């Protein structure tokens, strides 16, 4: 996989500790991934970070209209100015949707939580069937910027074939 920056570009020591997805309409939690974090915020750059994840969702996920995605993360010794997330979701070479979220300012040595609300696109039923029938050909790139400079790039692949919503 080609990444547009290296783990060393995360000079702010941003470390994600939790990612939760919920259906905004019903409130049902669809996914909740937690990473054990030390009690004290470490100012160590993690060079061996997991920048790729595979998600397994049921086909019903594709019928949702709005989801809330909660991120919990820590920041090292440098403040984040204009922290921003841009996500691009694709099925094969078809751009499904681009999301752009301004997280804003984060103080040094802080634990932070933010929830982004995603209004999911209306997809052609034929595309939905193809997405269900072709696991992991739906992908996303998540780009994290501080002061308009790219500092993290994560990739994900999605399967909509089963009821298991765990990650690999």
Q: pTM to 2 decimals?
A: 0.85
The confidence band for 165, taking pLDDT boundaries of 50, 70 and 90, is very low
Helices (H), the chain: 125-133
Binned at pLDDT 50, 70 and 90, residue 51 comes out as confident
- N-to-C CA span, the chain: 17
Residue ranges and CATH numbers for the domains of the chain are 7-36+50-159 (2.70.50.40)
Name the strands in the sheet holding 29-34, side by side, starting at the edge strand that comes first in the sequence: 29-34, 15-23, 66-74, 111-119
State the pLDDT confidence band at 84, using cuts at 50, 70 and 90: very high
pLDDT (0 to 100) of residue 166:
45
Nearest to 22 by CA among 72, 67, 71: 67
How many angstroms separate the CA atoms of 13 and 75, rounded?
Answer: 6
What does the pLDDT read at residue 2? 87
Q: Which two tokens stand for residue 14?
A: 């941003």
Q: What is the mean pLDDT of the chain?
A: 88
pLDDT at 168 over 80: no
CA pair distance 143, 83, nearest whole angstrom? 11
> pLDDT per residue over 113-163, tens digit each?
999 999 998 999 999 999 999 999 999 999 999 999 999 999 999 999 975
Q: Look at residue 39 and tell me whether its pLDDT is greater than 70.
A: no
At residue 112, does pLDDT exceed 50? yes
């Amino acid at each position: 996989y080609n990444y547009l920056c290296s783990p060393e570009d995360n000079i702010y020591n941003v470390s994600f500790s939790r990612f939760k997805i919920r259906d905004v309409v019903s409130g049902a939690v669809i996914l909740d991934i937690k990473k054990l974090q030390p009690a004290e915020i470490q100012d160590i750059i993690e060079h061996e970070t997991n920048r790729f994840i595979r998600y397994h969702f049921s086909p019903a996920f594709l019928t949702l209209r709005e989801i809330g995605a909660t991120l919990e993360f820590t920041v090292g010794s440098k403040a984040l100015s204009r922290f921003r997330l841009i996500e691009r979701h694709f099925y094969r070479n078809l751009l499904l949707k681009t999301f752009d979220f301004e997280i804003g300012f984060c103080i040094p040595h802080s634990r932070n939580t933010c929830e982004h609300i995603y209004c999911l696109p209306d997809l052609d039923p034929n595309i939905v069937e193809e997405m269900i029938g072709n696991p992991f050909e739906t992908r996303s790139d998540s780009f994290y910027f501080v002061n308009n400079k790219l500092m993290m790039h994560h990739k994900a692949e999605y399967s909509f074939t089963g009821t298991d919503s765990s990650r690999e």
